[in-house]
Amino acid sequence: MADDALLPADRRSGTEAAAAHPRSSPLRRAVPVLCVVAVLLLIWEGGKLLFAIPDQKLPHVGDVVAILFSRTQGGRGPLLLVQLLANAWATFQVAFGGFMIGGLLGFCLALLFSRWGLLERGLMPYVIASQTVPILAIAPMVVVGLGRMGAPDWTAKVVVAAYLTFFPVTIGTLRGLRAATPQALDLMRSYAATPAQVFWKLRGPVALPYVFTALKVAATASVIGAIVAELPAGAQQGIGVMVLNAAQFYNSRPPALYAAIGAAALVGLAFYALVAFAEWLVLGRRGDARHA
Amino acid sequence: MPEPIIAFERVSKVYPGTEGPVTALHDISLAIGQGEFVSLIGPSGCGKSTLMRLIGDLEQPTGGTLHVKNKTPHQARLDRDYGIVFQAPVLYEWRSVRKNVELPLEIMGFPAEQRRERAMALLRLVGLADWGESFPWQLSGGMQQRVSIARALSFNPSIVLMDEPFGALDEITRERMQDELLNIWSAAERQTTVIFVTHSIPEAVFLSDQVVVMSPRPGRVKRVVPIDLPRPRRFETRESPRFFELVTEVREGLREG
């Protein structure tokens, strides 16, 4: 019965499909990134030259790199690079804690909302309102409030990071949980599937790609939350503190600010990469990964 | 006629609309025997899909009574009496072809060994034995629809509901699929009752024991045309004079009133 007429025009077996869509090697994927870096360098240094921007306003890229390898505390401390990485790591930990708590909260809210529409109609306005209030206004309140309650320094930072994290996760997960088509649901109904079966075999798998997209947004948001929460606290460590310090002493060492900002960006990038890796672990081997 | 397995008595279906209620089905009385292949045909809006969905308990009638195997459609659904095939294959993209066929068996709690066996047997039946570990996107439309049919049959339902299953296929593939469907149905000793929604007159005549001709606004049964073409039906059947007579009869049924 398997007649040629019924085969797809390009009968793609697994290997042929793989050949048609070659997994690009890491080296090959690095090419566009490196190209963009080259262009940015060109714009930076070109612009500096063209518009005669003084070093005080925009340092040379080389100076920014050089300062990474200078010693801090007037030559007695560790390399600036080491100091930046240590502080970046502290911020990353806070962001990660906030991400986990906020992610879990967002996920649970989405589950509740998808199950009880009434709850969504009642609570969603507050969820949205919570995100329109500037985080710069919220963060000091949280920091001061929790500080008075005698909570350790890091709790306030984690709370602010979680505050920025839960929203995208709620919205993305909710969208995903509703993405199953009516017909796919009709099929489940015709099998007399239980609500739990519908969740595990249909709604959940359909929602997963949406959840990961939301988690990627949340990953960078949680880093912003962690950094913002470091600013009012008079915190001792964190990449936000480093940015603040470098800004204060900008006149004496302009490149240090750029280095600190670069390190802050690196935290967000690293976190995003981590989530993307988790996504690949969970979805990458799924048969429909090609579409994801 | 054999003992009816599906019995409509003065069934109606009214939807609440924004501009007053809309009658989708009006005063439907119809009896379908066990093992019969029945097509529902009519223009868009005649309620043929709704009629099928009422049988499958995907929607509920607003008037009259409907019995399936002397039970309510709800009970029949809980007893897993229905296999459904839609116009779109509705395969779960993240599952392999075999896992798609196994889906209803998983839900019904069949052990893994038995699931695999049944899925492979059905994939052989629809000619896709070599494709079990492929994924839906690797298959053509016709092949995907055959997976969908295999899935509907995997748990041996007594009634198979098909809603324009070949509507999205090209004419050549379509006729081939019709032949295959009859082969599959015959392989099960024609014990399975098939409700087949279509808007193709030759398709309805070629496949069916009865063609239920419907008309829209409100959806009514206008005529039931018994199809007395001998089985097994083959390629030649489509060229026999009797086939054309019956096609004409159904077409006239659609035109009148």
Give the model confidence (pLDDT) of B121-148 as tens digits.
999 888 899 999 999 999 998 899 999 9
Indicate the pTM of the whole model: 0.83
Given a contact cutoff of 8 angstroms between Cβ atoms, the answer to whether A97 and A248 are in contact is no
Q: Structure tokens of A154?
A: 């890091």
Q: Which amino acid is at A54?
A: P
| Residue carrying structure tokens 């296929």 | B169
Residue B136 lies in a domain: yes
Q: Looking at residue A235, what is its pLDDT?
A: 66
Residues of A in contact with B155 (CB under 8 A): 191
Least confident of A94-108, A223-237, B65-79, B234-248: A223-237
pLDDT for A122-167, tens place per residue?
999 888 888 888 888 888 888 888 888 888 878 888 999 999 999 9
A204 contacts in B (CB within 8 Å)?
none
Helix (H) or strand (E) holding A92: helix A80-115
Nearest to A80 by CA among A89, A92, A68, A90: A68
Closest C-alpha to B141, from B84, B83, B185, B91: B91
Q: Do A17 and B138 touch (CB under 8 A)?
A: yes
Of B190, B172, B184, B146, the residue nearest B235 (C-alpha): B172
Residue A21 confidence (pLDDT): 47
- Closest residue in A to B125 (Cα) is A1
Segment B179-206 shows an average pLDDT of 90
First to last CA, chain A: 33
Per-residue confidence band for B208, with pLDDT thresholds at 50, 70 and 90: very high
Write the secondary structure of B192-232 as one string of H (helix), E (strand) and C (coil): CEEEEEECCHHHHHHHCCEEEEEECCCEEEEEEEECCCCCC
CA B9 to chain centre: 21
Do the beta carbons of residue A231 and residue A244 sit within 8 Å?
yes
Confidence label for A292 from pLDDT (cuts 50, 70 and 90): very low
- In Å, how far is A127's CA from the nearest CA of chain B? 32
In this structure, is residue B104 part of a structural domain? Answer: yes
Residue range of the domain that includes B124: 89-156
Distance from CA of B34 to the nearest CA of A (A): 20
Per the CB < 8 A criterion, the answer to whether A160 and A142 are in contact is yes
Residue scoring higher pLDDT (A17 or B182): B182
Residue A80's SS3 state is helix
B104 contacts on A by Cβ (under 8 Å): 191
pLDDT (0 to 100) of residue A24? 62
Interface residue B74 vs chain A (CB under 8 A): no
Q: Are B77 and A192 in contact (CB under 8 A)?
A: yes
Q: Nearest Cβ partner of B94 from A6, A187, A287?
A: A287
Instruction: With cut-offs at 50, 70 and 90, classify the pLDDT of residue B218.
Output: confident
Q: Cα-atom radius of gyration of chain B, to the nearest Å?
A: 18
Task: Write out chain A residues lying below 8 Å of B139, CB-based.
Answer: 8
Task: Compute the average pLDDT of residues A229-256.
Answer: 84
Contact B86, A183 (CB under 8 A): yes
CA distance A174 to chain B (A): 20
Structure tokens at A70: 């200078």
Residue B198 bridge partners (DSSP):
B41
Structurally, chain B folds into a number of domains equal to 1
The Cα–Cα gap between B157 and B104 comes to 11
Q: What is the pLDDT of residues B6-55, one digit of tens each?
A: 999 999 999 998 888 888 899 999 999 988 999 999 988 888 899 999 99
Reported confidence tier of residue A16, pLDDT bands at 50, 70, 90: very low
Chain B positions touching A189 (Cβ under 8 A) are: 57-58, 77
* Residue numbers in A near B58 (CB within 8 A): 186, 189-190
- Chain B residues within an 8 Å CB radius of A286: 94
Structure tokens at A224: 């912003």
Percent of chain B with pLDDT over 90: 64
Nearest Cα neighbor of A188 from A207, A178, A203, A166 is A203
3-class secondary-structure state, position B96: coil
Select from B84, B94, B180 the Cβ nearest to the Cβ of A187.
B84
Record the tokens describing residue A272, joined without a space.
Answer: 């995003």
pLDDT at A19 over 50: no
pLDDT at A23 (0 to 100): 58
Compute CA B138 distance to the chain's CA centroid, rounded to the nearest angstrom: 25
Q: What strands lie across the sheet with B4-15, from one edge to the other?
A: B22-33, B4-15, B63-68
Please check whether residue B92 touches A, CB under 8 A.
yes
Mean pLDDT for B228-256 is: 90
Residue B115 lies in a domain: yes
Tell me if B52 is assigned to some domain: no
- pLDDT more than 70, % of chain A: 90
Q: What residue in B sits closest to A200 (Cα-Cα)? A: B107
Q: Residue A290: what pLDDT?
A: 57
Across residues B154-175, what is the average pLDDT?
90
Contact B92 A202 (CB under 8 A): yes
In-domain check, residue B203: no
Answer whether residue B9 is part of any domain.
no
ipTM score of the complex?
0.90
Q: Across chain B, what does the average pLDDT equal?
A: 91
Q: What is the mean pLDDT of residues B245-251?
A: 94
User: Is B93 in contact with A191 (Cβ distance < 8 A)?
Assistant: no
Beta carbons within 10 angstroms of residue B56's beta carbon: 22
Residue A12 has pLDDT above 50, yes or no: no
Show which residues on chain A lie within 8 Å of chain B, measured between beta carbons: 1-3, 5-9, 12-14, 17, 181, 183-184, 186-193, 197, 201-202, 205, 286-288, 290-291
Average pLDDT in the A16-34 region? 67
Taking an 8 Å cut-off on Cβ atoms, the answer to whether B56 and A190 are in contact is yes
Residue B215 lies in a domain: no
Cα separation of B154 and B103, whole Å? Answer: 9
A38-71 tens-digit pLDDT: 999 999 999 999 999 898 888 998 898 988 888 8
Instruction: Report d(CA B30, CA B66) in Å as an integer.
Output: 9
Asked if the structure places residue B146 within a domain, the reply is yes
Supply the DSSP string of A189-240, one letter for each residue.
HHTT--HHHHIIIIIHHHHHHHHHHHHHHHHHHHHHHHHHHHHHHT-SSSHH
